[in-house]
Chains A and B, each alone.
Chain A
Amino acid sequence: MSIEAINEQLLRAIGVGVALVETKSLTVRFANDTFVEWFGPPDDTVSLYEVLPAFDRDAAIAGLKTDGKFTAEVTFKVKRRTMTVAVEFNRALEDEENMIVLVCQNITRIKELESMIDSYSMMVERNTHEIRREKEQVEKLLLNMMPRTAYEEYKSFGVVAPRVFDSVSVLTLDFADFDAILAAHEPAVIVSELNDIYTAFDRIGEQFGCERVRTTGDSYFAVSGVPDPVRDHPGSIANTALRFLRYLKRRNETHPIAWKARVGLASGPVVGSVVGVQRYIYDVFGPAVTTADTVRLAAEPMAIAADGSIADLLDSRFAIKLLDHAAGPAPAAAEAFVLSESDVASQP
């Protein structure tokens, strides 16, 4: 077999469709087996435009003129399968005669895979969106349990290291006659009332730079200076305490249950940390918390008892007077003061 014969055999057998087209008549002169399988055998009387399903003929002519080549994608069906073939037109000269060489590659699979990737990426994008939404909900829940800085630390390291805060201010609050109120009302009413009050407290605290640590039944516990430092934490906690009482006074005027809060304030060191392995809770404890709890016992209903540790730090915006231990409901461990609104502070 001659080299030429081998070449022709090869050309006929390869999986790429090859055809020679006469430029003037645009008829197929030669086509290999693959081309014939897709587009039929060469026919002198049929123009290329009829052989190949719709392609941009003007663009093809222009492309051949300027660059000597042009590429088009042709789509047709074989049985029920959609086939896509990329057809490359190349201008060639043979015996002084202008010819076009068509090289056709089957890109059906590529098109099918492209469709599949489109479909898959849309599924994944939708899932990613859902996961993001769920993550936001989890984040929101966790932020209810710990301050943002503690949450960020938890997210990065999986733990929150306990931290000592040397100088912060603490507010603890409970309600006088809580047991009597509890006995006289439906639990649902109590819960809804406390929800209402604590939500208002949270908002007031936020306004003055305090953060609620936790509530346990009728006790509400907030700090200023944990975990983010607050420059005037004694002023911030004192203002919060005064606003709490002002809010309750107003609320009691229009609501059936009169809530009478006793507030204890103290300043000093505390420890802040996430406690618990399965049930995370950000907790704050330490001397300042204990002192605030103790001094609260000396507070009359709807009054604020301030420990010496915070009273020393408060400026003239606040009216402070020494607590008369004999008149107080319970003896405070150390010197305690009553904090009330001074003329300046009582301005709205």
Chain B
Amino acid sequence: MDKSLYEKYGGFSTVSKIVMTLYDKLLDDDDVGPFFDDVDMARLIDHQTKFVSSLMGGPASFTDTHIESAHKHLTIYDAHFDKLKELVAETLSGFSVDEEDIQTVLAAFEQRRSLLTES
């Protein structure tokens, strides 16, 4: 891939909108929303910005160790992970991201399932 998805879809200008939409969806969702009940807004936004940027090959990248330790205190089940995946897909398609690219993002996301979910 010559260009990252981040560049392909218009850089921060688009990513910022994706972040805000995903943030709204997460908070409104009653399955995954409760994970954020006590999270400070600035921290959550910071996390989402880095999350979306790294999913799309932008200027942030999380190491697997970082991802694992950041979610250690949470009890995440497969159903939560699936729901988040669904919300990410829904958000991206709302910004006319090609189906093929959505699948690439979701595949990268799926690879981290075992780091986050309870076995």
Interface stretch (choices B45-53, B80-88, B99-107): B45-53
Q: Is the CB of A120 within 8 A of B41?
A: no
Interface size bucket, A side?
Answer: 10 to 19
Cβ B46 vs Cβ A124 within 8 A? no
| B70 close to chain A: CB less than 8 A | no
Asked if A119 contacts B27 (CB within 8 A), the reply is no
Residues of B within 8 Å of A123, CB to CB, are: 49-50, 53, 58-60
Interface string of B91-119 (1 = CB under 8 A from A): 00000000000000000000000000000
Residue contact A112 to B27, C-beta cutoff 8 Å: no
Given contacts A80-B27, A123-B59, contact A112 B37 (CB under 8 A): no
Q: Is A127 an interface residue (CB 8 A)?
A: yes
Q: Is A199's beta carbon under 8 Å from chain B?
A: no
Chain A residues 81-126 with CB under 8 Å of chain B are 81-82, 109, 111-113, 115-116, 118-120, 123-124
Q: What residues on B are CB-neighbors of A119 within 8 Å?
A: 45-46, 49-50
- A112-B45, A118-B42 are known contacts; what are 20 more A-B pairs with Cβ within 8 Å? A79-B27, A79-B33, A80-B33, A80-B37, A81-B27, A82-B41, A109-B20, A111-B41, A112-B20, A115-B41, A115-B42, A116-B19, A116-B45, A116-B49, A119-B46, A120-B12, A120-B53, A123-B53, A123-B59, A127-B59
Q: Which residue of A lies closest to B48 (CB)?
A: A116
B9 within 8 A of A: no
Interface centre among B23, B34, B36, B49 (most CB of A within 10 A): B49
Chain A residues within an 8 Å CB radius of B41: 82, 111-112, 115
Known contacts A119-B45, A123-B50; decide if A112 and B36 are in contact (CB<8 Å): no
Q: How far is the CA of A118 from the CA of B53 in the complex (A)?
A: 14
Q: Which chain B positions have C-beta within 8 A of A116? A: 16, 19-20, 45-46, 48-49
The chain A residues found within 8 Å of chain B, CB to CB, are: 79-82, 109, 111-113, 115-116, 118-120, 123-124, 127
CB distance from B81 to the nearest CB of A (A): 19
- The CA of A81 and the CA of B41, in the complex, are separated in Å by 8
Most buried by A among B36, B45, B60: B45
Interface string of B24-68 (1 = CB under 8 A from A): 000100000110110011100110111001000011100000000
A123 CA / B51 CA spacing, docked (Å): 12
Q: Is the CB of A113 within 8 A of B37?
A: no
| Distance in angstroms between the alpha carbons of A115 and B46 in the assembled complex | 7
Would you call B49 and A120 a contact (CB within 8 A)? yes
What A residues does B58 contact at CB under 8 A? 123
- Which residues of chain A are within 8 angstroms of B16 by Cβ–Cβ distance? 113, 116, 120
Chain A contacts of B45 at CB under 8 A?
Answer: 112, 115-116, 119
Residue of A nearest to B20 (CB): A112
**A113 and B12: CB pair below 8 A?**
no
Q: Which residue of B lies closest to A127 (CB)?
A: B59
Q: CA A111 – CA B27 in complex, angstroms?
A: 16
User: Which residue from chain B places its CB closest to the CB of A125 in the assembled complex?
Assistant: B59
Inter-chain CA distance A115–B39, complex, in Å, is 14
Min CB distance, B84 to chain A, in Å? Answer: 15
A113–B16 alpha-carbon span in the complex (Å): 8
In B4-26, the 8 Å CB interface with A consists of: 12, 16, 19-20, 23
Most interface-central of B34, B40, B58, B59 (chain A CB within 10 A): B59
Residue of B nearest to A78 (CB): B27
